[in-house]
Structure formats: structure tokens, C-alpha cells
């Protein structure tokens, strides 16, 4: 809640790019693209996430299960948040958080990697190839 006003959000459980565009431009704060319930696949999710571009609406994705690896593709497609279903313990929560953190904030097994993409620009991530040092 910013300034005492409630956050406005909406869940989308069927693929409609036009509906997301209308909603994103209507003033809602965030939208959840629901991959757990309904017929939305990653291709449709990508289009729905992209439909929020140029608006203050934050695109989030609810993944189908609490498996950390399921968060990778939606984040690579431009989702700015992941909703993990069925988090029932502290261990589940720690795994979920670790799976969406990028190095150096996350280390070890479960830390995310990044891919070179236009979607990364939304987070202002700059991709640079690794530096190779040669010694001879």
C-alpha cells in the first residue's frame, strides 16, 4: 500500500493478450499470469508479460508447482516476480527465494543464471561476455 491506497491486482488464468493490455493500462498495480490453473503455456505467458511493457503494471507469474526450476523460464521471459504455490515450510520458502536470486546475492546450488535477452533490459541487467585471461 503506497500512500494509504490499496494495491490493485488481477489474476489471469486464460490467455488473452488484449485483456492484459487493457488491464495494464487501466491503473492496476500488478497482474499474475497463472500457469498453475488454466491453459496458459510459456508462449502465451511471454506475450502476456510483454503486454504490460510501457506501463507501471508489474507482471508476475504463478508457477505450476513449488519446484524452484519452474521459476527460471518465466523470469527469463520478463516476469518481475514469481508466486510459488504450496509453500508449507521454511525450507520450501528458502528454496523458492534462492531460485530467484541472481549472483552475487545467491550462491551455491539453486542460484540463478541469466540469459542474454531483451527481457533482461527491464531489470537493467547488462550482459557482458566473460573475460578470459591468457598467460603464456
Active-site residue list? 37
Residues 6+ apart with CB under 8 A from 62: 11, 32, 33, 34, 35, 36, 82, 83, 85
Residues 6+ apart with CB under 8 A from 130: none
Cβ proximity of 52 and 20 under 8 Å: yes
Comparing C-alpha atoms, which of 68, 59, 66, 61 is closest to residue 98? 68
Comparing C-alpha atoms, which of 38, 39, 45, 101 is closest to residue 68? 101
CA dihedral sign of residues 33, 36, 40, 45: positive
Amino acid at each position: 500500500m503506497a500512500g494509504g491506497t490499496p494495491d490493485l491486482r488481477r489474476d489471469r488464468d486464460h490467455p488473452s493478450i488484449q485483456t492484459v493490455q487493457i488491464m495494464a493500462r487501466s491503473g492496476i498495480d500488478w497482474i499474475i499470469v497463472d500457469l498453475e490453473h488454466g491453459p496458459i503455456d510459456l508462449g502465451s505467458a511471454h506475450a502476456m508479460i510483454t503486454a504490460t511493457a510501457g506501463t507501471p503494471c508489474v507482471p508476475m507469474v504463478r508457477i505450476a508447482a513449488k519446484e524452484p526450476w519452474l521459476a527460471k523460464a518465466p523470469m527469463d521471459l520478463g516476469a518481475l516476480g514469481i508466486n510459488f504455490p504450496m509453500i508449507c515450510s521454511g525450507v520450501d520458502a528458502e528454496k523458492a527465494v534462492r531460485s530467484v536470486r541472481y549472483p552475487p546475492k545467491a550462491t551455491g546450488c539453486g542460484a540463478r543464471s541469466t540469459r542474454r535477452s531483451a527481457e533482461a533490459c527491464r531489470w537493467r541487467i547488462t550482459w557482458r561476455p566473460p573475460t578470459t585471461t591468457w598467460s603464456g
